[in-house]
Amino acid sequence: METLDRQTETTSSRIAALAHLHAKYDCLNTILWLTDRSNGREQLLSSYQVGDPNIHEALVGAVVDIPRRGSKGDLADVLERVQSKIAHAVTATQRVTPIVLYPTIRAPTQSVSDPSILGVIVLHRDVEIGDPEAEEIASHISNIVEFTRLNRLATCVTNAQAFLSRTSKDVPKFLNEIGFFMLSQLNSSRCMYVNVNRAQDWLEIEGDHLEQLGIRAAHRDFAIEECGVAAPGEVRQVGLKFQECGSSEPAILVPLPQAGYAVRPVPFAKHNDFYRSLPRQNADDIKIIFFEKVVAGYLQNRFSEADVAIANAIFGFVGKYIESIIFESNTNEVISHLDTEDMVQDDADSILKILSGITRKFNSVTILRVGGFERSIYFDKVSATHRMPGLEDYLKKVRTTYFQKYYESRAGNGNNNHPYFGVDGIDGRTVIEVHFPRYSSESRLYLVELDGEVISESALRSLISLFSDLYSRVMREENIRERGSYLMQVRHAVIHHFSAANRSLKSIRPLWERGQRDKDYWLDLLNDPLIGSDLARTISSLGQASLIIENGRFMIGELESSALNRKPYRIAELINSTLDVLKYNRDDKRIGVISKISGPPPKSMRGDGPLLSIALMNLFDNAIKYSPHFAKIRWRLDYLPDRYRLSISSVGDKLDPNARMMLFQEGYRGFQSDRLNRRHGTGLGLPVAYRILKAHSPTAQLSFEPFDFDAELEGAGNTFFFEMPFFSGSSARAAAEADVRD
């Protein structure tokens, strides 16, 4: 290959320069020692030799440490160490003449510990050299060394850029190709790599041609020995200590660091805030090792400082390229599964399958159903890939630290269009938390166990992309189901009310037609209470149908606090108006109404009157609907200093306090003990009332209490109640101040 040819040229040019010096001064041996700092220490390495082949063996792999700056060592000490390496081949009559090489772009100094020292040429001959021309030849050799290093580096980078333009974008195949390519650039004969995103095993590249590459498991057990102190992610010299032979072989370790995050415990947050809360830390998920360096004529089997510089230069931009194709690969992995798989939001095995395609660091998934109302929170396991020790203790903690606050806030009303992400520890393991808020009071909690405490940015963004996309799909599916469920319930309920209205109008129509012909008969009809009752029944049925349709509007769409049209209103007037609309419903079951008001009303209140009327309509309609015939209902309005409390009590079957969450879920309907006169419904009334009240104020919490016996109502039953600030919303304080000024 071209690089091998250039490496041969490098070796040949250096040996040729040494041979010229060797012949000119009739030396017994001429040896070039080059300075190297690749393992964290400054050393002289025996590099090239011309002359007596008998000392060749003594020079192979020879290394002389250069004293650190400020030590007592000087040039004489270093040269004495150099001479000791080949003492057996130098007789007493032979002289050793050193010539120190300096980079041509720097002024020479006499301290060998100075980083500018390029190397030393050692001449062995019988007489001392006094010819200044030797210094000129040495300077020429310095130029050759520097030029060949720079030329080799530039050539390798150029070759790498050309190579990347035609390489594969498949990550495993790319690692094979780049590893094979770099063998020739580093004059290495073997290469192996590990990608912990795919497996924990090291793989060795096999093949003599780029088109016929293969891999095999690196079956030999080995340990990586650091040669010095190195920064994380730094390309460096290491030793490979193979267990089978016990020896340590020089190698270059190339980590391919990817931008990443240190996964530390952080609270739940939206994905952008979640990213910002995690500290940055590179992830070394991919490592490549090159070993068994072979260069003809070179005295070392270890990699040089120039080799490390080449690996640094090439993998500096190759690393970014790998990072981009990994992110593209992960994105395609997520998309391909979501496009082909059925909805997997409740299938832990399917989710882990997708995540494992991103990185094997994700090793388990647990899915929990979460429900909450006020301070009552429950967890049910939906599915899990593995048993998670410590889960119960974690759930106790997260119930208090997150979910109680979640259900007490507006978030608990389901007004969300994004999932929440967090990190916590469970029994010493790192777990990424994902919370899916839902329109109903029930939501999902996903716990993804992570192997390690660092994750690449690509893997984390792919996880967030997966769950964000999955959440969007879940919400779309839920919307479709809600719409379908609503339409089916509305169909039955509206048909019932329209049929009732139609029956009433049919009974009136013949009388109406006769009244058109006989005015006296028409006047008599106007005073007939039965006609008035039929008309009231018609109005009530049409009103109920309208209410059902209006309720569905809130269940299908969002009800945002900012969208409310807050104006002055009187709650007592809204209550009386609601009861007037429901007069037929009350009269039909002979329901009596008891009303009580305590405390002075405020000068004014602000809220969305039409929406509050719908909430009141649902609450009173429920009280009437689930009361037996000839029963009584009681509403009580208490004006407090800054808010009012409305409670509506009715007799009937006592509700189970543990069923609070179910009552406020769409479609749930309570038991009607009056089986002969059951009323149609949609199960939307209480959820709609709940949303309207919460949209006005987070403190307007709708709840209920069962009671055993009430003397005034003459039975056991339930009381639904809520408290509402006089001035709700973000402008409440300003409105209150304006009211005081008025």
Q: Model confidence over 305-317: pLDDT tens digits?
A: 889 999 988 888 8
- The answer to whether the beta carbons of residues 445 and 379 sit under 8 Å apart is yes
Cα separation, 356 vs 351, in Å, equals: 9
Where is average pLDDT lowest: 249-253, 341-345, 387-391, 575-579?
341-345
Residue 402 scores a pLDDT above 80 = yes
Cα separation, 3 vs 157, in Å, equals: 11
- The torsion angles phi and psi of 423, rounded to 5 degrees, stand at -135, 140
Residue 542 scores a pLDDT above 90 = no
Q: What fold does the segment set 2-156 form as a domain?
A: Beta-Lactamase (3.30.450)
Distance of CA 443 to the CA centre of its chain: 19
* Residue of 500, 499, 485 whose CA lies nearest to 552: 485
pLDDT score for 333: 78
**How does residue 124 score in pLDDT terms, banded at 50, 70 and 90?**
confident
- The torsion angles phi and psi of 128, rounded to 5 degrees, stand at -75, 145
Cα separation, 641 vs 542, in Å, equals: 39
pLDDT score for 679: 47
Residues with Cβ within 8 Å of 168's Cβ and at least 6 positions away in sequence, in order, are 174, 177
Beta strands in 590-714 (DSSP E): 592-598, 606-607, 632-639, 643-651, 703-710
Domain residue extents for the chain: 2-156, 167-267+278-324, 341-452, 559-741
pLDDT digits (tens, 9 = 90+) for 13-52: 888 888 888 888 888 888 898 988 877 778 888 888 898 8
Residues with Cβ within 8 Å of 513's Cβ and at least 6 positions away in sequence, in order, are none
Where is average pLDDT lowest: 119-133, 243-257, 357-371, 445-459?
119-133
Q: What fold does the segment set 341-452 form as a domain?
A: Beta-Lactamase (3.30.450)
Any long-range contacts for 415-418 (C-beta under 8 Å, 24+ apart)?
415/558, 415/559, 415/560, 417/475, 418/270, 418/271, 418/468, 418/471
Cα separation, 100 vs 119, in Å, equals: 6
Please give the CATH architecture assigned to the domain spanning 167-267+278-324. 2-Layer Sandwich (3.30)
Check for a shared fold between 2-156 and 167-267+278-324.
Answer: yes
Residues with Cβ within 8 Å of 84's Cβ and at least 6 positions away in sequence, in order, are none
Strand pairing category for 236-242 and 29-36:
unpaired
Residues with Cβ within 8 Å of 519's Cβ and at least 6 positions away in sequence, in order, are none
Residues with Cβ within 8 Å of 26's Cβ and at least 6 positions away in sequence, in order, are 125
pLDDT score for 676: 42
The DSSP symbol for 661 reads H
Cα separation, 642 vs 638, in Å, equals: 11
Pull the structure tokens for residue 600: 């002075």
**How does residue 385 score in pLDDT terms, banded at 50, 70 and 90?**
very high
Q: Which CATH code for domain 559-741?
A: 3.30.565.10
283: exposed, middle or buried (C-beta count within 10 Å: 0-12, 13-18, 19+)?
buried
Where is average pLDDT lowest: 43-57, 359-373, 548-562?
548-562
Residue 516 scores a pLDDT above 90 = no
